[in-house]
Amino acid sequence: MKRSLRRTAAIASIFALVAFAANADNPMVGGAAMSESKNIVENAANSKDHTTLVAAVKAAGLVDTLSGDGPFTVFAPTNAAFDALPAGTVDTLLKPENKEKLAKVLTCHVVAANALSDAVGKMIADDGGNHSVKTVGGCTLSAKMDGDKITLTDETGGIATVTIADVKQSNGVIHVIDKVLLPKA
């Protein structure tokens, strides 16, 4: 009996180490481990820094889309990024009557590709320091380098910085950003 329990404990430890090793190169986000075997929505839901984004994705009816096969690159604004919007903006966008506008804002953070930071950096360099990025929401972002960080300029001139890059997902990649990207009015 004791030998069986020790063997079971040893096997469980090995599985835990294998699972840890599989995610060791994936950054933690919002205090949570991000699993490459989970999709964008599943991982974002585990991040304490992305509760507003997850609520917005649900309110906009985009859960099924962002849980789908992809590949997607999501520039994921933090709660602090949403908090920096003018007072009442988030509450207004989350209202059912503004679902279409919310979906437009959110899809301006999504690219239909699996674009890791090295590839984005190369595109920026190949384009002379400024690479245009078309989003699934029809927005055009301008990607540039600021030292070793990627920045994105939205259609209103707002600039977001990628603070955590290359969070790999089963259906793409998340890059955490510090500002909400907005479409032109």
Chunked into runs of 10 residues, the chain (185 residues) has average pLDDT values of 48 40 68 88 92 95 94 96 95 95 97 95 96 96 96 97 96 96 91
List the one residue out of 122, 115, 108 whose CA is nearest residue 158: 108
Q: How confident is the prediction for the chain on average, in pLDDT?
A: 88
Question: CATH class for domain 2-177?
Answer: mainly beta
- pLDDT score of 49: 93
- pLDDT score of 26: 86
Burial of 162 (0-12, 13-18, 19+ CB in 10 A): buried
Q: Map residue 89 onto helix, strand or coil.
A: helix
- pLDDT score of 2: 54
The Cα–Cα gap between 29 and 57 comes to 18
**In the block, which residue shows the tokens 């994936």?**
26
Give the pLDDT confidence of 78-102 residue by residue, as tens digits. Answer: 999 999 999 999 999 999 999 999 9
Query: What token pair was written down for 87?
Result: 């007072």
- pLDDT score of 24: 55
Q: Is the Cα torsion angle 115, 121, 126, 127 positive or negative in sign?
A: positive
The Cα–Cα gap between 184 and 45 comes to 28
| Cis geometry, peptide bond prior to residue 77 (ω within 30 degrees of 0) | no
Any idea what the Cα angle at residue 121 is, between residues 178 and 116, rounded to 5°?
Answer: 70
- How far lies 127's CA from each of 122, 123, 140, in Å? 8, 6, 15
Percent over 70 (pLDDT), the chain: 87
- What letter represents residue 75's amino acid? F
The Cα–Cα gap between 112 and 171 comes to 10
- pLDDT score of 13: 38
Query: What token pair was written down for 37?
Result: 């075997």
- pLDDT score of 115: 94
